[in-house]
Structure 1
């Protein structure tokens, strides 16, 4: 089925997934980090102290996600999504009224768990279950929420904070989120999607892996360094965006205002990855993602002019666009749909854990006198090494995905 008829026939379910990924940004690092300067000032914290608080709060959230995420296998999507939205909204209100490090810790842990973790997991679990033959199109459409959020949410936060302060900005967003977004998502997802005649004949062949079995699969460990790269690298850079702009002599408005560049490239990469996923399989796009990330971080770490911002945003846009589709599509491709909620919750916890390491470790290194640009250059090397591992893993992933789809193995060169 071509894209526009598919979009028209499945608009309500795709819109529900889009809203979940869009408003997951309230718990994403690029959004939370915009408050880092205000939080550090109000609580008199150093870069290392706040980075450590952020890291341990994120680790705490990662520890809870596998347990909370399993409920997605037992509850209707609309009820599960409503609980996640209420939890995220409550944590937003808590952060807006936090005046101690302990309360900030709890609020950030909740934002990371419900926002970065469970909002995204809910959206992609729903797309993975509701769609089979057009899973790539569904994932890429829902994932557009990430791209649009990265474009408009930082700018909107800066605008709200300009007249209401960072606390007021969180308060305004929390009220809107609970009163408007919650009922919208519930109404869009409460009616189960019925499969088409073609999908009814679809057979999900192959082994149905439980989450524990996935952890014993060598293929998983070959892919993991590449899959955690966007969380590890992207989180670290955006977390320290205020400090980085100070080092380079750029304004924060220049950096945050360049996110539309990121979004344009991310949207293009999202649609391309959706097409490739339906035509071949999702793993074939991972080397593209890692190469784009290596170029982006190398430019940001070595170029001191504002050109580096544009190169970084473009490269990370490609990486985030590929990542947003692959991270949803790869698990049902390789491990089946029977235990998808448990598999996704475990994977989400690992991704959140990776996003915790970067800000904490880099904050301590900054306090110890290590250059942030040098750290960013090191990230480029990590992405390159991860790309090599993925190239070794791709043939195995291709064969497994072909068996799962009950189609002949097709060879694709990234």
Structure 2
């Protein structure tokens, strides 16, 4: 059977499971920075917040959600996706409704916490854990296809809601968001009416990790490999979020109109989708352990381009490199945990990684904003950010080199 035929058969045979993953990643967009920041001006005006105060509240809520994710993420090892997923979507819907109805400054950090926990945190976490657990030989393809929901949300939600903002009040739009998320709950339950790998039978479909066994979360925390990976987990959410958070400042520092920079975003989205699909194919061919030490080298080049570029072309090249890492970020790390630590406790283990990533998305904008206030433009920070990613890549290489000897060769398995 040819490769296109195999792909078509894979999509047909697993359509409901892949659609469930894509639905969860898409709906996670309502708790992502790229969506919440659309309403930053209205929220600041409504509550009388300065840029610093709004940034502080956002960081507080996000950091708290990262802490709770360490516990909440482990629920995906206990409950089936068809039960946990709809509950998380209902909670995310309530968080969107709370943003629409809230008039208390004291409650605002709590609302941000709920949006970040159930949106960026749990919705995406459940989707990617499910793909890593449900698929073995085709894990890369499954992760890349499910992760397309992130890019679709990033492309459609800000544009659509900014357009509707011309005719609808911002609070009404949050109620619309709540309704859309709530509609997703029964759809998800329907897609997973016959879940691929229920918890009761997951043992027979599991993947063993290092030393030919399943690792517990406590053992992972004592593993040097996990801490060698931590800077790489923190980096992309910290500095990619910071780049988009400070996009107006970046454009101004480069002598560009904001619209000139924003016009490159669709190109970035298309390149990211292509990188997701290519990284999924490469993952199934070579596995995550081989690929992980190299996937952050392009983002180092991206920030060098952002620092040195004098015009639109150089920044476009930077977006190309940024998309390469961002696309791979959606597939490689999620498979890496399953390959190295097994799938029995993959939810609890990946929750640690997700918490670090959410924490990064809280730290990045604040840290880079402080440096901007101290007189160092974001573009010039790109040199230091590039050095950070090079260092993280070296640390990954060292940690994986030690761990590889403890991994058994993968046995041939069905999709």
**TM-score, normalization by structure 2:** 0.89
Q: Note if contact 1:273-1:322 (Cα within 8 Å) is conserved in structure 2.
A: yes
Cα–Cα, structure 1 residues 169 and 376, in superposed 2: closer, same or farther, change >3 Å?
A: farther
Partner residue, 2:112: 108
Partner residue, 2:187: 184
Cα–Cα, structure 1 residues 73 and 327, in superposed 2: closer, same or farther, change >3 Å?
A: same
Q: Note if contact 2:134-2:205 (Cα within 8 Å) is conserved in structure 1.
A: no
What is the alpha-carbon distance in structure 1 between the residues aligned to residue 283 and residue 340 of structure 2?
A: 13
Partner residue, 2:173: 169
Q: Note if contact 1:18-1:141 (Cα within 8 Å) is conserved in structure 2.
A: yes
What is the alpha-carbon distance in structure 1 between the residues aligned to residue 49 and residue 290 of structure 2?
A: 43
Q: In the alignment, which of 108, 125, 130 is matched to residue 126 of structure 1?
A: 130
Residue 387 (structure 2) pairs with residue 355 (structure 1):
no
Cα–Cα, structure 1 residues 349 and 184, in superposed 2: closer, same or farther, change >3 Å?
A: same
Residue 37 (structure 2) pairs with residue 33 (structure 1):
yes
Partner residue, 1:204: 208
> How far off is 1:229 after superposition?
1.5
> How far off is 1:243 after superposition?
3.5
Partner residue, 1:143: 147
What is the alpha-carbon distance in structure 1 between the residues aligned to residue 175 and residue 295 of structure 2?
A: 35
What is the alpha-carbon distance in structure 2 between the residues aligned to residue 89 and residue 167 of structure 1?
A: 14
What is the alpha-carbon distance in structure 1 between the residues aligned to residue 104 and residue 309 of structure 2?
A: 38
What is the alpha-carbon distance in structure 2 between the residues aligned to residue 314 and residue 169 of structure 1?
A: 33
> How far off is 1:6 after superposition?
0.9
Q: Note if contact 1:23-1:149 (Cα within 8 Å) is conserved in structure 2.
A: yes
What is the alpha-carbon distance in structure 2 between the residues aligned to residue 152 and residue 108 of structure 1?
A: 21
Residue 335 (structure 2) pairs with residue 329 (structure 1):
yes
Q: Deviations over 1:180-238 (max 9, x none)?
A: x222112112312269xxx9688636121111111111111122212222111111112
**TM-score, normalization by structure 1:** 0.89
Q: Deviations over 1:241-298 (max 9, x none)?
A: 2443444454444444432212221122212221222222113333443122112222
Q: Note if contact 1:48-1:364 (Cα within 8 Å) is conserved in structure 2.
A: no
Uncovered stretches (5+) of structure 1, i.e. residues with no partner: 408-414
Q: In the alignment, which of 350, 355, 359 is matched to residue 344 of structure 1?
A: 350
What is the alpha-carbon distance in structure 2 between the residues aligned to residue 18 and residue 24 of structure 1?
A: 10
- Which shifted more, 6-15 or 186-195? 186-195
Q: Deviations over 1:68-118 (max 9, x none)?
A: 222212212111001111111111222233444323211211111111110
Q: Deviations over 1:324-362 (max 9, x none)?
A: 001321111110011111112222112111211112223
Q: In the alignment, which of 262, 267, 271 is matched to residue 261 of structure 1?
A: 267
Residue 92 (structure 2) pairs with residue 94 (structure 1):
no
Q: Deviations over 1:41-74 (max 9, x none)?
A: 3333333222222111111111111222222122
Q: In the alignment, which of 46, 50, 57 is matched to residue 53 of structure 1?
A: 57
| RMSD (Å) for aligned C-alpha atoms | 2.5
Q: Note if contact 1:296-1:314 (Cα within 8 Å) is conserved in structure 2.
A: yes
Q: Note if contact 2:87-2:185 (Cα within 8 Å) is conserved in structure 1.
A: no
What is the alpha-carbon distance in structure 2 between the residues aligned to residue 202 and residue 247 of structure 1?
A: 51
Q: Deviations over 1:117-152 (max 9, x none)?
A: 101110011112211222111111111112222222
Cα–Cα, structure 1 residues 39 and 17, in superposed 2: closer, same or farther, change >3 Å?
A: same
> How far off is 1:383 after superposition?
1.2
Q: In the alignment, which of 230, 233, 237 is matched to residue 239 of structure 2?
A: 233
- Give the SS at the match of 1:164: coil
Q: Note if contact 2:234-2:359 (Cα within 8 Å) is conserved in structure 1.
A: no
Q: Note if contact 1:231-1:355 (Cα within 8 Å) is conserved in structure 2.
A: yes
Partner residue, 2:27: 23
> How far off is 1:15 after superposition?
0.5
What is the alpha-carbon distance in structure 2 between the residues aligned to residue 331 and residue 141 of structure 1?
A: 19
What is the alpha-carbon distance in structure 2 between the residues aligned to residue 24 and residue 4 of structure 1?
A: 27
Partner residue, 1:73: 77
Cα–Cα, structure 1 residues 67 and 223, in superposed 2: closer, same or farther, change >3 Å?
A: closer
What is the alpha-carbon distance in structure 2 between the residues aligned to residue 171 and residue 129 of structure 1?
A: 34
Q: Note if contact 1:286-1:322 (Cα within 8 Å) is conserved in structure 2.
A: no
Q: Note if contact 1:133-1:278 (Cα within 8 Å) is conserved in structure 2.
A: yes
